[in-house]
């Protein structure tokens, strides 16, 4: 029998949040993935989407029993009953994804500032960021937008004081020991270290999102000529 600790709370009239704590960690992230997989398998009435994150799982549901939906009280009890049994083991190491990144220069305008703020060299920032062992905790903000962590404590930088109104697609950025990759041109306040030529979201693919929750990500440093070559090859393939 499961003995996990969590709290339930409503988020509006059609979302139930299952909170497993407030501290980001690999263990909590894996627990969220396992809980989400268990709830997916249960096929609870009225639930339209299940979204795991760093410390919680959101259940979006259709309110109104008369219309095939449910209500917060009924769904809460179903969640408790489902999570009281053994959880499905999340396959967090099923996919190992390498993300090529061109660091610094025009692709990474914040690399030098990040290095200065944390008191190490730019090459050391790149070395830490390319260390293996980071997991995709969830997708959000926009289609295919991943939240990846958890990095070395040196990367515990808050977001920029003044966000950018437009961050180019493919930008790889950090904040609060996390990484993200902007799938499209978006506003954002994270520190941009570099960019990848890979397309994070493409409706032409059978699986539109390049990264999925539970994926293990390994950032790999590439030169600017390598970036340009790969970008050209990918553009030709997508033409």
What are 18-34's pLDDT values in tens digits?
Answer: 999 888 888 898 899 99
Least confidently predicted of 65-74, 107-116, 136-145, 216-225? 65-74
What are 166-214's pLDDT values in tens digits?
Answer: 999 999 999 999 999 999 999 999 999 999 999 999 999 999 999 999 8
Domain with CATH 2.40.100.10 in the chain: 96-238
The CATH number of the domain covering residues in 96-238: 2.40.100.10
Q: What is the mean pLDDT of the chain?
A: 92
What are 99-122's pLDDT values in tens digits?
Answer: 999 999 999 999 999 999 999 999
Has residue 130 got a pLDDT over 70? yes
Has residue 153 got a pLDDT over 50? yes
- Please tell me which residue, 92 or 26, carries the higher pLDDT value: 26
Average pLDDT over residues 89-105: 84
Q: Please, which pLDDT band fits residue 132 given cuts at 50, 70 and 90?
A: confident
**Residue of 60, 66, 97, 108 lying closest to 223 (CA atoms):** 108
Q: Please, which pLDDT band fits residue 82 given cuts at 50, 70 and 90?
A: very high
Residue 140 is predicted with a pLDDT of 86
Domain 7-83, CATH among 3.30.1360.40, 2.60.40.1120, 3.50.50.60, 1.10.3720.10: 3.30.1360.40
Q: Please, which pLDDT band fits residue 141 given cuts at 50, 70 and 90?
A: confident
Average pLDDT over residues 52-78: 90
Domain with CATH 3.30.1360.40 in the chain: 7-83
Has residue 67 got a pLDDT over 80? no
Q: Please, which pLDDT band fits residue 133 given cuts at 50, 70 and 90?
A: confident
Residue 1 is predicted with a pLDDT of 45
Q: Please, which pLDDT band fits residue 65 given cuts at 50, 70 and 90?
A: confident
Residue 93 is predicted with a pLDDT of 55
Average pLDDT over residues 137-149: 92
3-state secondary structure the chain: CCCCCCEEEECCCCEEEEECCCCCCHHHHHHHHHHHHHHHHHCCCCEEEEEECCCEEEEEECECHHHCCECHHHHHHHHHHHHCCCCCCCCCCCCEEEEEEEECCCCCCCHHHHHHHHCCCHHHHHHHHCCCCEEEEEECCCCCCEEEECCCHHHCCCCCCCCEEEECCCEEEEECCEEEECCCCEEECCEEEEECCCCCECCCCCCCECCCCCCEEEEEEECHHHHHHHHHHHHHHHC
Average pLDDT over residues 32-42: 93
Question: Whole-angstrom Cα distance, residue 14 to residue 63?
Answer: 6
């Amino acid at each position: 029998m499961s003995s996990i600790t969590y709290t339930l709370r409503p988020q509006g009239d059609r979302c139930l949040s299952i909170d497993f704590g407030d501290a980001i960690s690999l263990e909590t992230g894996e627990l969220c993935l396992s809980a989400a997989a268990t709830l997916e398998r249960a096929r609870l009435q009225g639930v339209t989407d299940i979204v795991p994150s760093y410390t919680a799982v959101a259940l979006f549901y259709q309110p109104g029993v008369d219309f095939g939906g449910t209500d917060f009280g009924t769904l809460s009890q179903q969640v408790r009953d489902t999570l009281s049994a053994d959880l499905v083991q999340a396959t967090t190491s099923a996919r190992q994804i390498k993300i090529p990144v061109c660091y610094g220069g025009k692709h990474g305008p914040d690399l030098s500032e990040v290095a200065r703020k944390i008191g190490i060299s730019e090459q050391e920032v790149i070395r830490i960021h390319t260390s293996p062992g980071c997991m995709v905790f969830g997708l959000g903000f926009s289609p295919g937008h991943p939240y990846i962590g958890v990095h070395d404590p040196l990367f515990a930088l808050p977001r920029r004081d003044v966000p950018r109104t437009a961050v180019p697609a493919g930008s790889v950025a950090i904040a609060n020991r996390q990484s993200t990759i902007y799938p499209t041109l978006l506003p954002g306040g994270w520190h941009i270290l570099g960019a990848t030529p890979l397309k994070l979201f493409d409706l032409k693919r059978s699986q539109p999102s390049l990264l999925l929750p539970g994926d293990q990500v390994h950032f790999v440093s590439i030169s600017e000529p390598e970036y340009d070559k790969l970008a050209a090859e990918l553009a030709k393939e997508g033409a």
